[in-house]
Amino acid sequence: MRHSCFITVGPARFRIGSDWRAPIDLLRSLYRDYPLEQVVPDFTVRLQATSALRRWIRPAVSIAGDFTLPDAAPLPLSQALLAAEMAMNLQMALGWRRHLLLHASAVSRGGRAVIMTGVSGAGKSTLSALLGERGWRFLGDEFVLLDPDSGMIVPFPRPVSLKNAAIAAMEHEVDDDDRFGPVLRDTPKGTIRHLRPRTEAIGLMTRETQPALLLFPRFGEPRAVRRVDEAECFVRLTQASTNYVALGERGFDALTHFVRSIPARAIDYTDGEEGVEMVERLWSEQGVKAAA
């Protein structure tokens, strides 16, 4: 294709081609701290004009690549960063086989990870971004990769995709304006702005960590904590995984081991501050338990 770049996030390598120059420049800037050298990629993503005419007139980006969804709606060129993000997500969701892929966010401290999973809008992404600014290592806001052989968490720390109210919250949290991407307004998901993780988190993205705590956060609810049974964790995680079935026996072994080996809690919290505090508290309680 006319314009292209390579991006490596965690263990996954992408080749991105585009009919326009602008999206590639934006990606190079947003991913400047990630390895960008040419490799044999795991996935190819294409940001292509829906028709020859659409390269120039009201340009529309169709989301394509090794794996595509039929009938997917195109996006205007001004939202090409979102198109790229969705296309990369789609490759991972449909094509990744090396790890059990969980739709979840994660942070770690002292080599041990908290995994947070829940439906879109539950706040897992923002919570991981907040924790990533407060002494935790950011491991990813969208996908958590679980190694079936070692049981370890493999980071996938792509830029955080902040939506709507979370944008202001993180702008308040992060002083360095340079870490934010452009504001994308009127996208199908509302307003979106990307936040580059701290350079340390990106630098450590090949280092695996031990899972220690599984959380099911729910934002905007009165504070509550509930123990989650292993069976419920198991079912919820099969539904939060896009490749559980495809991994077959390896997926089964990985997930049954995972839910049996770490504690799980559902937490409801009213705002980000409360969320952070509850994670910290649960974390220290777990620490006590592990030491005892």
Partner 1 sequence: MMDANEDSHGGNKSACSDGGDALGKTSRRTLLIGAVATSAVVSIRPALAQAAGSVLNCMIPVPEHGNGKFIDAAGKLVSPDTPGAFPPSPRDFTGEEVHQALQGRNLPGTSREQSRAYLNYIRKLQNGQSGFTCYASLQMPRR
Partner 2 sequence: MTDGWSVARALTDPQSAAGLEPAGWTRLLSAARALSLIGTLAEAMADNGVPAEVERVLGDVRRSNIAGQRQALWEAECAKAALATYSGKVILLKGTAFAAAGYRAALGRSIGDLDILVDRSGIEQVEALLLSAGWEWVKPDPYDDAYYRKWMHELPPMIHASRDRMIDVHHTILPLTAKPRPDAAALIADARALPSGLFVLSPADIICHAAAHLLADGDLSGGMRNLWDIDRLVRQFAAEERDFAERLADRARLHGLTGAVSRALRLSQRLFNTPPVFRRKPEPGAGAEQSGPGIRLSPESTSAKRHISDALFLRRITAVDGWGRKTRKLTRQAFFIRSHALRMPPLMLARHLWTKWRMGRRD
Partner 3 sequence: MLGPRNMVAARYAALPAAALKRVQVGGLEAIYHLPSGITHLLAEPVPDLLDALARLGPGRFADAAEVLQLIADRFDIEGDDPAEPHEAVLAERLAELAALGLIAISPDK
Residue pair 80/125 in contact (Cβ under 8 Å)? The answer is no
- If contact means CB under 5 to 8 A according to the sort of partner, which of partner 2, partner 3, partner 1, none does residue 89 touch? partner 1
Q: Does 248 bind partner 3 (CB under 8 A)?
A: yes
At its nearest, how many Å lie between partner 1 and the CB of residue 266?
A: 11
- Out of 80, 122, 259, 266, name the contact with partner 3 by CB under 8 A: 259
Q: Does 151 bind partner 3 (CB under 8 A)?
A: no
Tell me the pairing of strands 112-117 and 210-219: parallel
* Residue closer to partner 2, measured from CB, 6 or 287: 6
205: exposed, middle or buried (Cβ count in 10 Å: 0-12, 13-18, 19+): buried
- Out of 73, 231, 288, 291, name the contact with partner 3 by CB under 8 A: 231
Report the side by side order of strands in the sheet with 190-195. 160-163, 190-195, 180-187
CA distances from 133 to 43, 122, 171, 195, 276 (A): 30, 19, 11, 11, 11
At its nearest, how many Å lie between partner 1 and the CB of residue 278?
A: 9
73, 90, 89, 5: which is closest to 39 by C-alpha? 5
- If contact means CB under 5 to 8 A according to the sort of partner, which of partner 2, partner 1, partner 3, none does residue 227 touch? partner 1
Using DSSP, state whether 213 is helix, strand or coil. Answer: strand
At its nearest, how many Å lie between partner 1 and the CB of residue 271?
A: 19
- If contact means CB under 5 to 8 A according to the sort of partner, which of partner 1, partner 3, partner 2, none does residue 63 touch? partner 1
- Out of 149, 229, 277, 285, name the contact with partner 3 by CB under 8 A: 229
Q: Does 230 bind partner 3 (CB under 8 A)?
A: yes
Residues that bind partner 2 (CB under 8 A): 1, 13, 15, 17, 38-42, 44, 46, 48, 64-70, 94-98, 229, 231-232, 235-236, 238-239, 246-248
Measured CA to CA, the distance from residue 14 to residue 144 in angstroms comes to 17
Cβ of 292: how many Cβ atoms within 10 Å? 5
At its nearest, how many Å lie between partner 2 and the CB of residue 38?
A: 7
26: exposed, middle or buried (Cβ count in 10 Å: 0-12, 13-18, 19+): middle
Interface with partner 3 by CB under 8 A: which residues?
229-235, 238, 244-245, 248-249, 252-253, 256, 259-260
